[in-house]
Amino acid sequence: MIKFLDIDYLDDIYLLVNNYLNFIDYKYIKNELTNLDNEIIGFFVGTELVGVLSYLKILDEIEINYIVVKEEFRRNKIASELFKNIFKLKDFKVINLEVDVTNRSAIEFYLKLGFKQIRIRKNYYQGKDGLEMKKVIGEL
């Protein structure tokens, strides 16, 4: 089941996300949950939160903040299902994101969803380079 997450889920989101992306801290998530332009959607198996996708709406564009699926639940299309909810949003033309250039699994995942590689941004992640990717909504 997929649903929008509110501040009541702050601790659950933090425990899931910070485990894999340690630069996303508690305060960062709290700020996201209180920003009206930011949405976080969660994927539940039973009552357990096993996937989250956070994004920011900026005019007619969407900026992905992060997506995380709990390790033992990966390769079950959970992240793909979370993204489907973004692809069907009305009034948005483009989805942008940055990913650590060394994060091959995430890059493969984004390519599979139809994202294109735009450019490398030097020193984007605490000394690591970031790959900027983009998808025009509706294009394969």
CB nearer to ligand COA: give 33 or 65.
65
- Does residue 117 belong to the site contacting ligand COA (CB under 6 A)? no
CA 93 to chain centre: 17
- Does residue 48 belong to the site contacting ligand COA (CB under 6 A)? no
Size of the chain in residues: 140
Answer for which of 13, 33, 106, 133 binds ligand COA (CB under 6 A) is: 106
Return the residues of window 6-25 that contact ligand COA according to CB under 6 A: 20-21
Alpha-helical regions (H) of 35-103 = 78-87
User: Measured between alpha carbons, how far is 69 from 50 in angstroms, rounded to an integer?
Assistant: 6
Q: Kindly name the residue from 61, 98, 124, 132 that is annotated as catalytic.
A: 98
Kind and range of the H or E run holding 96: strand 94-100
CB nearer to ligand COA: give 82 or 137.
82
Whether 110 is a known active-site residue: answer yes
**E runs forming strands in 15-75:** 38-45, 48-58, 61-69
Whether 72 is a known active-site residue: answer no
Q: Give least dist CB 114 to ligand COA, A.
A: 11
Burial of 135 (0-12, 13-18, 19+ CB in 10 A): buried
CB nearer to ligand COA: give 9 or 66.
66
**Which residues would be at the binding site for ligand COA (CB under 6 A)?**
20-21, 66-69, 74-80, 99, 103, 105-106, 108-109, 112
Which sequence positions are flagged as catalytic? 98, 110
